[in-house]
Amino acid sequence: MSIADDTVQYLRTNDLVLTTAESCTAGKIVTLLSEVEGSGNFIECGYVVYSPQAKQRLLHVNPQTIETFNLTSVEVAREMATGALRDSTANAAIATTGILGPDDVDGIPAGTICFAWAFQSADGCYLFSHQHRFAGERCEVQTQATEYALQCLAQFHERVLQGERGEL
């Protein structure tokens, strides 16, 4: 089975419906999941937001967060994930923002991707984030980031089931 098959099965088993807020992965998370039969029952929506203005307008990312931490930051990814959940009927969100390459930007190395995973439950919102650096060409980094985001979804949801709210 593929990571997409595994993820859709996990969503199904755990009554999760997913929304995404994708910058550097450009919708590839939703695209990969959509290739699995029956996945439409577990995908609410996907935002593809490249510009700071789109992140602010559609996901309610605070301009001060961008100014303080940069677009490629776990702080922005966290606000993207919670913003995606806010206007959605989903109870799980994945956000990605980063630099695919080939060049570094603002002193941040190419291949640096920031992720956030958010889960809405009856007792509140659980939020996890992580920064990871991938090696390879632009398309390779994008694919690796997409798969990594999905691989970590179940890991963080299991932490939610254990009542943990912290960071990685």
- The confidence band for 24, taking pLDDT boundaries of 50, 70 and 90, is very high
Q: Strand, coil or helix: what is 144?
A: helix
Q: CA-CA distances (angstroms) from residue 38 to 29, 41, 46?
A: 16, 6, 17
CA distance 148 to 168: 14
Supply the pLDDT for residue 165. 67
Q: State pLDDT tens for residues 61-80.
A: 999 999 999 999 999 999 99
Q: CA-CA distances (angstroms) from residue 28 to 19, 34, 92, 108, 152?
A: 13, 10, 17, 23, 16
Q: Strand, coil or helix: what is 126?
A: strand
- Read off the tokens for 26: 């450009």
Segment 100-105 shows an average pLDDT of 95
Supply the pLDDT for residue 166. 59
Count of H-run helices and E-run strands, the chain = 6, 5
Supply the pLDDT for residue 168. 40
Q: Report which secondary-structure segment, H or E, holds 8.
A: helix 3-13
Supply the pLDDT for residue 1. 80
This prediction's pTM: 0.96
- The confidence band for 87, taking pLDDT boundaries of 50, 70 and 90, is confident
Q: State pLDDT tens for residues 27-37.
A: 999 999 999 99
Q: Is the pLDDT of residue 124 over 80?
A: yes
CA distance 129 to 160: 13
Supply the pLDDT for residue 163. 81
